Amino acid sequence: MRRLLWPVVVLVLLLALNVFFTPSFFSIEVKDGHLYGSLIDILRFGAPLILVSLGMTLVIATGGIDLSVGSVVAISGALACLQISQDTSVFTAVVSALVLCVVLGAWNGFLVAAVGIQPIIATLILMVAGRGLAQLITGGQIITINSPAYKVIGGGYWLTVPFGILIVIAVLAITAFLTRRLALGMLLESVGGNAEASRLAGIRARGIVIMVYAFAALCAGVAGLMISSNVSSADGNNAGLWIELDAILAVVIGGTSLSGGRFSLSGTVLGALIIQTLTTTIYSIGVPPETTLLFKALVVTAVCLIQSPSFRAKAFGRRGRTAPPSPAPEEKVRVTA
Amino acid sequence: MTTLTLGRASIPAKYLPVLVTGCLFVAMFMVGGIRYEGFATGQIILNVFIDNAFLLVMAVGMTFVILTGGIDLSVGSVVALSTMISASLMAGPGWPPYLVVPLVLAIGSGLGLVMGYIVHAFDIQPFIVTLAGMFLARGLCYTIGTDSIPIEDPTFTAFAQTRIDLFADMWISPSVIIALVVVAVAAYVLRYTRFGRSVYATGGSEQSALLMGLPVGRTKITVYTISGFCSALGGVLLSFYMLSGYGLHAVGMELDVIAAVVIGGTLLTGGSGFLLGTVLGVLVLGLIQTIISFEGTLSSWWTKIFIGLLLFVFILLQRLFSARSRR
């Protein structure tokens, strides 16, 4: 768990900064049978990002990357809202939106695994075209709906807890079970480590890759439903814009390497929480809105630097000034007779 | 070496992706010429150059970075930052252009240098470092100002309005000449200098390049500096074109640039690709936009769907051709 140390430190620092500026930051109260408080808000507004990042983690674990999640977020919200505005039942609307997302994800996976296109390019196609598709669905307008049942997904409560948080917990639990209790996680990591070797070892690398991209799109789809339900409208242009970058950032902050081969779900959740807390912090300590991106850039740089072993070696001088130029050489274990 | 035999001539396999892109460009141009009246003129191609001169310069820088196996997501933001800095310095304190332009180029190169240094020295993935650079540059734009600042400097407006006449009523803008000079210099550097060969070697296999004694670290830092410089220059060209500085200029441009480089047949894994391919990639993207504007009735979202589809077709075709030639 040592690699989760730095993300935890950063998160604690950010929270401490908040408490310093707003002493009532940690207070959580129950109003009208709902939980209220800044921490709950961070979880609630961070829920879509956590979901997207979870999907992204698995994709990155196989050595891929998915740039299209932002567009998928927009498409799923757009399709669901369009159907609800045409008096389809909420259930049908939600299911059909999610099915479309899975199909789009499988398409990504097909391009990567079967056609052999580099993941960043394969998903770039859907990123560009998908944004257009979302606008096509909404007709370039913002679709506004009034459906209490749909509103529950992103803005509702169940047993005093915001529904979005429950969805995240459920998805996280299922993902953790599938990847850490079953062999699936290990298969994912082996595909990410070396796809060809895994295939020769009898792992169906192709099927696993397609499944992972479909899962990432499904997560993005649920996130899209949450975002659009929270504001009761669908905006094909701006929904989920640049969420893929935040998600990739969350995954990397959480200690998952972009080169694939291993992943950390809890790290990703931490990473997403850091990003969301950062956004909240920016508002609560009164950083002017013009400089929010600047602030974000500085924190991201700091987090990434402090996680880099060679930076720590240079900055704190543990290994002296001759840090090796090649990536992290393995420590040799000396055996004394 | 694997070759593909076409009649009597044989083409080395490494040139094939560029050739495919070239053929597709010609095919697109012919389809456009048949479909639309007044399309098949030389000026249409020159217009693509005029409208995309800044994109071409950015793509040159990106080609260097991608050839080493890296990626630079900050280019769009650096362009916006350059337009913003030049516009605000000329509008506010009234700095002359001959001071502003070198300053902007230095800032862009400096940003690239810092990013390259972080990538190399601290072993952080380029994707993440340049993503932070993207936030930083965009954030600096908004810190300077959130509104669009018009550029009224006479030198800039003169640059924007100058038409250089070629033969037969065709003309280009000075930006095109700057862009072409950049392309020529970059092509020479990549092909004939020690540094250019190190770029390919680093992208091919960093480990081998290191073992051969090539200056891998210096190469990596230099390519990001080049990319920063090219983005800043692209920003200057864009401010000639737009005559304004704005924090929202060139949003998402990094993806266009990456798409252009990839369409041009450069592999994102590094080590393989040509500058000519990048030029063709930029031309293809520009021609798509021209065709869509000739079509006239298409909504903006069809543009995106269309570009996505074409990207798909291009990559698929390249994939098919290169898969066949490898056998």
Indicate whether A335 pLDDT > 70: no
For residue A295, list chain B residues with Cβ-Cβ distance below 8 A: 139
- Chain B nearest-CA residue for A122: B312
**Shortest distance, CA B158 to any CA of chain A (angstroms):** 33
Which pLDDT score is estimated for A328? 42
Q: Decide if A270 contacts A50 (C-beta within 8 A).
A: no
Which pLDDT score is estimated for A56? 93
Q: How far is B199 from B227, CA to CA, in rounded Å?
A: 13
SS3 A30: strand
Cβ distance B123 to A310 less than 8 Å, yes or no, reads: yes
For residue A245, list chain B residues with Cβ-Cβ distance below 8 A: 73, 131
Which pLDDT score is estimated for B192? 92
Q: Which of A59-68, A241-250, A312-321 has the lowest mean pLDDT?
A: A312-321
Cβ distance B123 to A309 less than 8 Å, yes or no, reads: yes
Cβ distance B315 to A121 less than 8 Å, yes or no, reads: yes
End-to-end CA distance of chain B: 12
CA distances from A116 to A110, A210, B160, B195, B323 (A): 8, 12, 44, 31, 10
* A272 — pLDDT class (breaks 50, 70, 90): very high
Q: Which of A23-27, A92-96, B10-14, B172-176 has the lowest mean pLDDT?
A: B10-14
For residue B300, list chain A residues with Cβ-Cβ distance below 8 A: 135, 140
- Chain B nearest-CA residue for A259: B125
Indicate whether B327 pLDDT > 50: no
What are the sequence ranges of the domains in chain A?
40-306
Q: Which residue has the higher pLDDT, A160 or B78?
A: B78
Considering only CB atoms, A311 lies closest to which of B122, B133, B311, namely: B122
- Chain B nearest-CA residue for A326: B207
The H-or-E segment that residue A95 falls in is: helix A90-110
**Shortest distance, CA B180 to any CA of chain A (angstroms):** 27
Tell me the range of A282-286, B234-238, B294-298, B313-317 where mean pLDDT is highest. B234-238
Cβ distance B302 to A132 less than 8 Å, yes or no, reads: yes
Cβ distance A115 to B307 less than 8 Å, yes or no, reads: no
**Shortest distance, CA B220 to any CA of chain A (angstroms):** 12
Indicate whether B265 pLDDT > 90: no
Q: Which long-range contacts (CB under 8 A, 24 or more apart) does A178-187 make?
A: A179/A58, A179/A265, A180/A265, A184/A208, A185/A263
**Shortest distance, CA A171 to any CA of chain B (angstroms):** 26
**Shortest distance, CA A161 to any CA of chain B (angstroms):** 34
Which pLDDT score is estimated for B184? 95
Indicate whether A288 pLDDT > 50: yes
Ordered alpha helix ranges (H), B172-263: 174-192, 194-204, 206-211, 216-242, 253-263
For residue B311, list chain A residues with Cβ-Cβ distance below 8 A: 121, 124-125, 128-129
Q: How far is A195 from A203, CA to CA, in rounded Å?
A: 9
Q: How far is B275 from B59, CA to CA, in rounded Å?
A: 9
For residue A121, list chain B residues with Cβ-Cβ distance below 8 A: 262, 268, 311, 315
pLDDT (average), residues B209-223? 92
Mean pLDDT estimate for chain A: 83
Output the CA torsion sign for A203, A118, A192, A102: negative
Cβ distance A136 to B301 less than 8 Å, yes or no, reads: yes
Cβ distance A129 to B210 less than 8 Å, yes or no, reads: no
Q: Which residue has the higher pLDDT, B98 or B304?
A: B98
For residue B77, list chain A residues with Cβ-Cβ distance below 8 A: none
For residue B315, list chain A residues with Cβ-Cβ distance below 8 A: 117, 121-122, 125
Q: Which residue has the higher pLDDT, A8 or B38?
A: A8
Indicate whether A292 pLDDT > 80: no
For residue A120, list chain B residues with Cβ-Cβ distance below 8 A: 71, 258, 268
pLDDT (average), residues B302-319? 78
Which pLDDT score is estimated for B104? 94
**Shortest distance, CA A199 to any CA of chain B (angstroms):** 20
Task: Indicate the CATH number of B49-317 among 1.20.58, 1.10.287, 1.10.3470, 3.30.310.
Answer: 1.10.3470
Q: Which of A9-18, A254-263, B120-129 has the lowest mean pLDDT?
A: A254-263
The residue among B71, B301, B305 with the most chain A CBs within 10 A of its CB, best to mutate, is: B301
Which pLDDT score is estimated for A240? 79
Cβ distance B142 to A290 less than 8 Å, yes or no, reads: yes
**Shortest distance, CA A75 to any CA of chain B (angstroms):** 13
Residues 6 or more apart whose Cβ sits within 8 Å of residue B209: B198, B201, B202, B216, B219
pTM of the model: 0.83
* A257 — pLDDT class (breaks 50, 70, 90): confident
* B8 — pLDDT class (breaks 50, 70, 90): very low
Considering only CB atoms, B311 lies closest to which of A125, A293, A326, namely: A125
**Shortest distance, CA A53 to any CA of chain B (angstroms):** 15
Mean pLDDT estimate for chain B: 85
**Shortest distance, CA A169 to any CA of chain B (angstroms):** 27
Cα three-residue angle B11-B17-B22, rounded to 5 degrees:
90
Q: How far is A48 from A220, CA to CA, in rounded Å?
A: 8
Residues 6 or more apart whose Cβ sits within 8 Å of residue A18: A25, A38, A277, A280, A281, A284, A285
Considering only CB atoms, B136 lies closest to which of A122, A294, A327, namely: A294
- Chain A nearest-CA residue for B210: A326
Which pLDDT score is estimated for B282? 92
Tell me the backbone φ, ψ of residue B4, rounded to 5 degrees: -110, 125
pLDDT digit string, tens, across residues A110-125: 999 988 888 888 898 8
Cβ distance A300 to B135 less than 8 Å, yes or no, reads: yes
- Chain A nearest-CA residue for B259: A121
Cβ distance B124 to A136 less than 8 Å, yes or no, reads: no
For residue B258, list chain A residues with Cβ-Cβ distance below 8 A: 120, 124
Q: Which residue has the higher pLDDT, A166 or A26?
A: A166
Query: Which CATH class, in words, describes the domain spanning A40-306?
Result: mainly alpha
User: Bridge-partner residues for B149, per DSSP?
Assistant: B245
Which pLDDT score is estimated for B95? 82
For residue A294, list chain B residues with Cβ-Cβ distance below 8 A: 135-136, 139-140, 142-143
pLDDT (average), residues A77-85? 91
Percent of chain A with pLDDT over 70: 93
Which pLDDT score is estimated for B324? 58
